[in-house]
Structure 1
């Protein structure tokens, strides 16, 4: 749970940059990649990350410019990446102008099921992105995309550092 706006902003800067790096690698063709028919596609997961910003934080009463979870999945990877970039910036601006550190301890009803402190909702938002980025990496590999490293180098990035990638066990 975040107890300060500054603490969240610092964490968000890292995590949203990591998400943006992954979204920027997507291609229009890769958006159709899925594990099996009738499963969420790579484009669907990427778009879900974008719309979850409003879907989760809208529950707290925060108002900012981001698409709703009802918005249709775009047909281009650039639109998904650009929309995330804009919505992420709008989210940060809204938190900085509408909330204070004290606001983070206020409780709000989430989805008619939970009572969460706003600072906890921010933690869930970040964890939600991390969860779906993990799903995206598998589909990105299946779509023959190079997955960018997030918490360490991806296998393709080792050679750029002049090192050999660790053995796959």
Structure 2
């Protein structure tokens, strides 16, 4: 949980930057990649991240389309995520205080302290970002490192990538 708004803002920036790199690496042709016909496509997972940011929780106007239709271009999805990230950042940094963390707010149909809700929002983002990286690899896209270098980035560190076992 967060004890200050600054802690959330810093983590939102860090996790948002890492996620934005993945969004920006998407291609139009990669959006249809999926594990099976019963699972979301890469575009569907990316769009799910965008459309499930709880706009009303943050007190911002909905930015993503509510048509239920996934945009057909990677650029549009990446730009929508960028817009959402900054809208949340601007709202929280300007309108929320440390005291806001103790307020109960409704998220996913449940009332809970904001400090708990913010952790769930970050975890949801990270969970689906992980799904994106697998689908991106299957689609032949280069994946950027998140908590360390990706396989492709190891060379730039002057080190050999870990061996697959």
Aligned residue in 2 for 1:91: 88
Correspondent of 1:138 among 134, 156, 159: 134
* Stretches of structure 1 lacking an aligned partner (at least 5 in a row): none
Aligned residue in 1 for 2:71: 74
TM-score normalised per structure 1: 0.91
| 1:29 and 2:29 aligned | yes
TM-score normalised per structure 2: 0.93
Shift of 1:141: 0.7
Alpha-carbon RMSD: 1.6
Q: CA contact under 8 A between 1:64 and 1:94: conserved in structure 2?
A: no
Correspondent of 1:102 among 96, 99, 104: 99
Moved over 6 A (4+): none
Aligned residue in 1 for 2:11: 11
- Greater shift, 69-78 or 98-107, is seen at 69-78
* Stretches of structure 2 lacking an aligned partner (at least 5 in a row): none
Aligned positions, number: 165
In 2, distance between residues paired with 1:145 and 1:61? 33
